[in-house]
A and B are shown apart, each in its own frame.
Chain A
Amino acid sequence: MSTSAALLPIEADLDAIEQVGLWKDAWTRFRRNRLAIIGGTVVLLLVLDAFLAPVLEAAHLIANPLKQDPVNLYASASWSHPMGLDALGRDLMSRLMFGAQISLTIGVLVQGIIVLIGLSIGLTAGYFGGKIDNLLMRFTDVWFAFPDLLFVLVLVSVFGASELSIFAAIGLVNWVNLARIVRGLTLSLREREFVEAARAVGSSPLRIISRHIFPNILGPVIVTITFGIPQAIFTEAVLSYLGVGIPPPTPSWGTMIHDGYEAINYAPMQAGWPAIAIAITMLAFTFLGDGLRDALDPRMRK
């Protein structure tokens, strides 16, 4: 028996041990959920599509999404253009495939902003409680009183419709939900024994938050983010549809619906295909999110 094992670090990595088991456990549960697997696969395919689209285009397997063909506007499906051409003669299918890039980028980046703001505010409010919590929560209340879509529209109209301003706008409006969830969890975690123990030993708040609280809120945070991605995609699509989104000629599904709507009466699938694409993406992320939630927190019944 070696004696080196006798002295454990004061903040014993019991949490860490617990966490490893938790993840493996969650994976097993996740695997059993068929819808979640389907959702996850579709999401994976989307990510693949987003990365591979430029590659495929360079290899001439799909057409250039920006190349206009002024002669064949609204051409119907053909071998070289499986979904036909749009109002400016651009290949619909390749625009659809490239659109995935925009959607996913928006989804991820917006969540990045949300995580940054929401986590910090939520953790601070939850951990320090009292007046700080009160103040932050009042602040969140005011922020929350804005109807989200309107606020995004206002922001975008103020700062112009560029990719950056759209990310920022959507992120700025939607962090409240995450902040509230994180705050709630932090508040209850704060009372648990291992946090008390860490405090008694004199750990700094930053250390406690990062080592003890953060790993435990990871699950619900991941779930919230996964549900937040489709929300961001949706918001971007709406913005583009309303005409204040990603400026042309970048293909975003929302813009495609906007453009396609003009031709709804005689070429309905111009708007139809991007609509279906959005629908499938949202469903995929939602199933994935549901699956993650069930896997990570089995106590939450459906």
Chain B
Amino acid sequence: MPTGGRPIGGAFLLFRVLRGRPARLGIFVLRRVLWMVPVVFFVILITFVLAHLAPGSPWDRGAGRQLSAAVIHNRNVTYGLDKPYWQQFLVYIWNVAHLNFGLSFQFQDQSVSGLLLAGWPYTLTLGLTAFCLIVPVGILLGVVAALRQNSKVDYIATAFATLGATIPNFVIAILLIIVLGVGARNATGGNLWLPFSGIGLDSRLILPVIAISALPIAYVARLTRASTLEILRQEYVRTAWAKGLPERLVIGRHVLLNALIPVITALGPIFAFLLTGSVIIETVFSIPGIGSTFVTAVNARDYPMILATTILFSFVIAAVNLVVDILYVVIDPRVRLS
């Protein structure tokens, strides 16, 4: 009786492909992307509602400087504020879908998108540099601390991590400015000090990047350390040694590959933190990025600006979290895709 090796082998092949991880991965990605849509929608909705709950109108200028009724009316028409709320909302959604975030209240002839685009490169420089610092330094610190557990190196690293994690970044920023900026300038007669105003691809990057990276580095280092310690206790590390593998392969391949998996999940929150942190850091260091424009918008009640920045940030954070989630699933073969 022919057992049909070929047909069965073929069916097996097909079976494996259809039930295979790549196919289920695709569905997983799709589902998560689709889930982002209602979330972003709600973010827009809630922010929109909040913005319109604010007492007073955006044209209030305080006693004595109130604009004339005619001007106010014209402005309202220009900005579409005379229409009923639900209509405004729908118009807004439509516009957002076309990446049109309206005109800024503060600067009546500038579009919000224009302002955002202008500020974007500065924020990007800050964020990207910080990220490129955080990941290697954090991981290195964590791994070294774990490999030399309870040694002096470990205690120093952990102490630094605690400081960085606990003291808020703008406090760190202020202290850095006082010590390495003003203090150094006064101490060395103006020769050796770090600048703390503005940003560019030069020494002006140093202080802001340090200030914004302190907490994420601490977080990554702690996570990596804990994870590495956990992995070092695993039996398969012993197997790797027993196979006669050199130290660089045991640590570099067997330990790190496993230890870094949880660290990937940290990338999402870190990214979010860099975005929100930029709001503070940019203000402290007078960097004209999206963060500081947001602060001025808040102070001036420039709602289109506020809305747009909130939506942008929420969207970016959600997108990054999505990417991180997918990355995690791709890298760890044990994760079940439900």
**What residues of chain B lie closer than 8 Å to A261, measured between beta carbons?**
174, 284
A interface secondary structure, majority = helix
Across the interface, do A147 and B275 meet the contact criterion of CB distance under 8 Å?
yes
Q: How far is B320's CA from A147's CA once the two chains are assembled, in angstroms?
A: 13
Known: A145-B314, A147-B272, A150-B276. A241 touches B166 (CB 8 A): no
* A195 CB–B CB distance under 8 Å: no
Question: Which of A142, A234, A242, A243 touches B39 (beta carbons < 8 Å)?
Answer: A142
How far apart are the CA atoms of A296 and B334 in the complex, in Å? 33
Q: A147-B317, A278-B168 are in contact. Are A272 and B178 (CB under 8 A)?
A: yes
Whether A145 touches B168, Cβ cut-off 8 Å, given contacts A158-B53, A272-B174, is no
For chain B, which range describes its interface: under 10, 10 to 19, 20 to 34, or 35 or more residues? 35 or more
Instruction: Select the stretch in A22-30, A121-129, A208-216, A262-270 that faces chain B.
Output: A262-270
B162 touches A271 (CB 8 A): no
Specify which of B47, B166, B174, B301 is in contact with A275 (CB 8 Å cutoff).
B174
Chain B proximity of A90: nearest CB distance (Å): 19
Query: B167 on the interface (CB 8 Å rule)?
Result: yes
B317 near A286 (CB under 8 angstroms)? no
Alpha-carbon separation in the docked complex, A265 to B162 (Å): 29
Residues from chain A with a CB closer than 8 A to the CB of B310 are: 146-147, 150-151, 154
Chain B hits for A154, CB < 8 A:
47, 50-51, 298, 306, 310
Q: Is B160 part of the contact surface with A, judged by Cβ < 8 Å? A: no
A79 to B74 alpha-carbon distance, docked (Å): 60
Q: Could you tell me the distance in whole angstroms from the C-beta of B289 to the nearest C-beta in chain A? A: 14
Residues of B within 8 A of A149 (CB): 276, 279-280
Q: Once bound together, how far apart are the Cα atoms of A148 and B54, in whole Å?
A: 19
- Chain B residues with CB under 8 Å of A283's CB are 162-163, 166-167
A153 proximal to B (CB < 8 A) = yes
Nearest B-chain residue to A156, judged by Cβ: B298
Considering only residues 235-293 of chain B, those with a C-beta below 8 Å from chain A are: 272, 275-276, 279-280, 283-284
Query: Is the Cβ of B174 less than 8 Å from the Cβ of A242?
Result: no
Which of A147, A237, A238, A282 has the most chain B CB atoms closer than 10 A to its own CB?
A147
Q: Is A187 an interface residue (CB 8 A)?
A: no
For the complex, what is the distance from the CA of A276 to the CA of B179, rounded to whole Å? 12
**Does A244 count as interface, using CB distance less than 8 angstroms?**
yes
Check if B174 sits within 8 Å of A271, measured CB to CB.
Answer: yes
Interface residues of B in 36-84 (CB under 8 A from A): 38-40, 42-43, 46-47, 50-51, 53-55
Residues B178 and A158 in contact, CB atoms below 8 Å apart? no
Kindly list chain B residues whose C-beta atoms are within 8 Å of the C-beta of A146. Answer: 43, 46, 310, 314
In angstroms, Cα B318 to Cα A286, docked, is 29
B328 on interface, CB distance cutoff 8 Å: no
Judging by beta carbons under 8 Å apart, are A272 and B175 in contact? Answer: yes
- Report whether A243 and B299 are in contact in the complex, using a CB–CB cutoff of 8 Å: yes
Q: Which 4 A-B pairs have the closest CB atoms?
A: A149-B276, A275-B174, A158-B54, A234-B168
- Extra inter-chain contacts (16) besides given A142-B43, A148-B276, CB under 8 Å: A142-B46, A147-B275, A149-B276, A150-B294, A150-B313, A153-B294, A153-B298, A157-B298, A159-B54, A241-B284, A242-B279, A257-B171, A261-B174, A271-B174, A275-B175, A279-B175
List chain A positions with a Cβ less than 8 A from chain B.
141-142, 145-151, 153-160, 230, 234, 237-238, 241-244, 257, 261, 264-265, 268-269, 271-272, 275-276, 278-279, 282-283, 286, 302
Cβ contacts A to B, 29 pairs, < 8 Å: A142-B39, A145-B42, A146-B43, A146-B310, A147-B275, A147-B317, A149-B280, A150-B276, A150-B279, A150-B314, A154-B47, A154-B310, A155-B50, A160-B55, A264-B174, A264-B178, A264-B181, A264-B182, A268-B177, A272-B175, A272-B178, A275-B175, A276-B175, A278-B168, A279-B166, A279-B175, A282-B166, A282-B168, A286-B166
